[in-house]
Amino acid sequence: MSWFDNKTLTVLRQRGVFIQWAAMAAIAAILVYSCYAKARKSVVLAVDGKEATAVQTFARTVGGALKAQDIALYEKDEVTPSLETRLQNGMVITVKRAVDLCVTVDGCDIPVRTRSLKVEDVLAEYGINLGPDDEVTPAKDYPVYPGMAITVARVKVETQVNDVAIDYNTEKEYTTRLPSGASRVAREGKEGIEHQTWQVVLKDGKEVNRQLAGREVVEPAVDKLVVIGSGLVVSRGGENIRYSRALDMLASAYSYTGNNTASGVAPHYGVAAVDTSLIPMGSRLYVDGYGYATALDRGSAIKGNRIDLFFGSNGEAMSWGLRRVKVYILD
């Protein structure tokens, strides 16, 4: 005789199947959760120096994690670890952005994207070589920042040799052999030639500075000589002296006073003090008994037809005394 009837056995069987299914479901749930927990990773993202952020991701690689976070990468951006690296829990992913800027060189504007830290590193990265005199703005050690403009000026120093004409002067010679006011050319003038050496600084092909480094006369100029007839000529010591006017003057003498003349030069033989309202300062003179002189001084007592002549010693001045002389004002 059976302990259980058929109905009871059926119920027991159904309960067993239910328990079996419940156990299997629990095991499956545990397995799913375990896989989920294993697939999900916590990583830290540090992008372009900003504050690091912890994120949860199911991505398998660094590149997948960045894509899942909508972090786009551009040319020359640097990712550490590399994009192909498999993710690990607690991993720190760093993205360093490159910056955009412009380099102007050799007449061209070059768009640049770089992670270089200094201007000179940018130039080296893009193969822009500098000459010894080239100028870089900003300076080569200046730090790089987004949107900056770097300018390279090509500087070249050239030596130029030029032949330059030397002007000639016109000399005048007065003679009593021609009528007064008549003239003739006794010698034609001719320009000379001078070699000039210049140091020329070119910036981007344009001249910005030049300095004369040397000069050499290879052919001197020949002055033109014009002979002019003059009626106002006096002969002294076998020399014909041409003058514009002659004055009868009272001439005194002076010697060293310890002061310079009114014109600023030190007194010396040939210096004359005059009334500058009558004889302009700087006029060349010929004084009978004294010789050639120049009006370079004046004095409070020298007024009108008075002239004071300098002598090198007090004895010479005393010897001259005070006398009437003819003073010729030369052209």
pLDDT in tens, 192-238: 999 999 999 999 999 999 999 999 999 999 999 998 877 677 888 88
Same domain, 251 and 318: yes
Whole-prediction pTM? 0.49
Residue 260 lies in a domain: yes
User: Which residues contact residue 131 at a Cβ distance below 8 angstroms, ignoring those fewer than 6 apart?
Assistant: 154, 155, 156
Residue 2 lies in a domain: no
CB contact at 8 A, 321 and 254 = no
Same domain, 58 and 130: no
List the domain range (segments joined by +) for residue 169. Answer: 158-227
The domain total for the chain is: 4
Alpha helices (H) in the chain, listed in sequence order: 6-39, 62-68, 119-125, 314-320
Same domain, 166 and 89: no
Residue 275 lies in a domain: yes
> What is the model's pLDDT at position 182?
82
**Average pLDDT score, the chain:** 88
Residue 186 lies in a domain: yes
Task: Provide the 3-class DSSP secondary structure of residue 203.
Answer: strand
Residue with tokens 């030397």: 166
pLDDT, mean of residues 174-178: 70
Under the banding of pLDDT at 50, 70 and 90, the label for residue 1 is very low
Same domain, 245 and 318: yes
The beta strands (E) that lie in 65-191 are given as: 78-80, 92-96, 99-105, 108-114, 135-137, 149-153, 155-166, 170-175, 183-187
Choosing from 153, 170, 199, the residue where a domain stops is 153
More confident of the two residues 148 and 182: 148
| Region of poorest pLDDT, from 150-164, 165-179, 289-303 | 165-179
Domain CATH code at residue 297? 2.40.40.10
